[in-house]
Amino acid sequence: MGQPSGPVIARPLVARACGCLREFQHYAVDRYRAQRLAKFQKTRCEVCVAKLHEAQRQAAAAIPKKGEAFRQLPPGTQMTITRRANGTWTGSLTAEGTTVHADGEGPHGVTLALARAWLAATGKIPAVAPAAPPAPAG
């Protein structure tokens, strides 16, 4: 897409994907205004993107690292992993009467997912939920 040229002739407020109203610039010469506007409307504003990144960073910080997750498992923990015909792996972990299940691409990822799932199920760490999009601001 080429760069627009000439003076800005209008600055209407347009709703972004996050619901925020932001200024969109109309240039005197802009062959691709419709495409720029469509992309502008499909993306979030800078403030909402920053909030989302911060929420994701905080959620990632709450998840225990690999070694920490395995150290928190109690003695007597039983883990079973199985390779499926399609090449993926599945497993279950049982400890202190709680059983969790997980699937993944490799055995290492499945064991870590099982450890973290058990810790979340028993309340030893907060449950990991996908980050929700931020509420529309202004």
pLDDT in tens, 16-39: 999 999 999 999 989 999 999 999
Domain count, the chain: 2
Is there a single domain that holds both residue 117 and residue 69?
Answer: yes
The residue range of the domain holding 35 is 5-51
Strands 78-83 and 5-10: unpaired
Of the chain, the percentage scoring pLDDT greater than 70 comes to 90
Q: Angle 127-130-132 (CA atoms, 0-180°, nearest 5)?
A: 120
Asked if residue 133 belongs to a domain, the reply is no
pTM of the model: 0.55
CA–CA separation, 114 and 70 (whole Å): 10
Asked if residue 72 belongs to a domain, the reply is yes
Asked if residue 128 belongs to a domain, the reply is no
The pLDDT, as a whole number, for residue 124 is 76
Count other C-beta atoms under 10 Å from residue 27's C-beta. Answer: 16
Is there a single domain that holds both residue 33 and residue 73?
Answer: no
Residues facing residue 13 across a β-bridge: 23
The pLDDT, as a whole number, for residue 127 is 58
